[in-house]
Amino acid sequence: MKAIEVTNLVKKYGKFTAVDNISFSVEKGSICAILGPNGSGKTTTIKSICNLIIPDKGEIKLEGKSNKKSVDKISALFEGTRNLYWRLTPRENLRYFAGIRGLGGKNVEKTIDELLERFSLTDKRDVMVNNLSRGMQQKVAIAMTLICNTDIVLLDEPTLGLDIESFMDIKNLLRNIATDMKKTILLSTHDMNLVQDVCNDVVILNKGKIVAQDTLVNLLEMFRSMTYEFILVKAISKEDKNYLLKLGYSFYFTNDDSILEIDIVNSNKIYNIIDVLKEKQILIKEIKQKEINFERVYLNLISGGKR
Ligand SMILES: Nc1ncnc2c1ncn2[C@@H]1O[C@H](COP(=O)(O)OP(=O)(O)OP(=O)(O)O)[C@@H](O)[C@H]1O
Ligand SMILES: [Mg+2]
């Protein structure tokens, strides 16, 4: 079952096309990251899903129903913590937002206490939000997206500007929200550690277009199998280096020219490279498939490089 289905979405601002005919879907219960450089259309996409922006073209469905008729399935947090009232306490903020959605009474009070506990905010529940730290404010803002218990949660840059500790807290909370609370999360972020650690699926935008969309595992795998590291017995000479660079392979030299990295599509190419090294009497200490992190995958996809 798809929680979110976006089909042929187009959003223009005047002549400028901010979102250019994109289609993607998010499985129920998964955490999907929407990534891309500044201005690539992430916020515009998220706002369109929430029905805050009327697209020029396209269709958006939430659990099978047009988003025009199912906004009640969604809660959202936008960049910064602007959905908070600074002069209210966390508890009052949560109560207020529950009220807007028509929730009140004893049950809501219980949910509020549970959420504050889950977010380690119980001892701050009666402190004015204005007097909380940035990370705590961010937690209150995320808690607010959960108070109405919607199936789908959209988070636009939930970890922006947080210190390491708050970042780790929020990372764990996000995992927790998806697995224990069984929610679907679509989040935008520039933090590739967050993506690598909590997301199942990834959609990458560049200039309003989708440049990649797949599971995180597949994207990592696709790149991992392509990068090899040849650890040499000693640093390669300048002469040999120039010779290798002229062969037309994409070699990278690291560690003071004692490690040779190469991206290859066909693993048989490895033998060609070994032959070349042998011919030049360049001794190999070790050959490794390089551990690839998601940041490198992302940069490659964005630069339109190897695929
Ligand atoms: N209200 C608006 N009027 C005109 N242009 C806009 C408006 N909102 C966004 N844009 C433009 O649309 C493009 C996409 O903006 P958007 O905010 O969706 O990007 P983003 O991917 O969220 O970027 P960031 O990573 O900086 O948050 C940008 O070029 C932006 O200038
Ligand atoms: Mg944005």
Mutate which of 11, 12, 17, 42 for ligand 1? The one with the most ligand atoms within 8 Å of its CB, which is 42
Instruction: State residue 62's pLDDT score.
Output: 97
Instruction: State residue 84's pLDDT score.
Output: 87
Average pLDDT estimate for 94-108: 88
Instruction: State residue 286's pLDDT score.
Output: 96
Residue 110: what are its φ and ψ, rounded to 5°? -70, -45
Other beta carbons within 10 angstroms of residue 251's beta carbon come to: 16
**Distance separating alpha carbons of residues 39 and 37, to the nearest angstrom:** 6
19 neighbors 10 (Cβ within 8 angstroms): yes
Q: What is the pLDDT of residues 72-82, one digit of tens each?
A: 899 999 876 67
Q: What is the pTM of this model?
A: 0.82
- Provide the CATH number for the domain formed by 225-302 in this structure: 3.30.70.100
Going from the Cα of 272 to the center of ligand 2, the distance in angstroms, rounded, reads: 45
The ligand minimizing its distance to the Cα of 39 is 1
Among residues 291, 175, 150, the alpha carbon closest in space to that of 158 is found at 175
Confidence of residue 161 (pLDDT cuts 50, 70, 90): confident
Among residues 245, 230, 238, the alpha carbon closest in space to that of 278 is found at 230
Domain ranges in the chain are 2-214, 225-302
Q: Is pLDDT of 277 > 70?
A: yes
232 neighbors 259 (Cβ within 8 angstroms): yes
Q: Is pLDDT of 295 > 90?
A: no
The CATH topology of domain 2-214 is: Rossmann fold (3.40.50)
61 neighbors 67 (Cβ within 8 angstroms): yes
Tell me whether domains 2-214 and 225-302 share a fold.
Answer: no
**3-class SS of residue 22:** strand
Going from the Cα of 299 to the center of ligand 2, the distance in angstroms, rounded, reads: 18
**Distance separating alpha carbons of residues 26 and 123, to the nearest angstrom:** 36
**3-class SS of residue 12:** strand
Instruction: State residue 57's pLDDT score.
Output: 97
Mutate which of 19, 35, 40 for ligand 1? The one with the most ligand atoms within 8 Å of its CB, which is 40
Q: Is pLDDT of 151 > 60?
A: yes
Q: Is pLDDT of 306 > 70?
A: no
What is the pLDDT of the chain when averaged over all its residues?
A: 91
Average pLDDT estimate for 91-103: 91
**Both tokens assigned to 148:** 């109405």
Other beta carbons within 10 angstroms of residue 185's beta carbon come to: 25
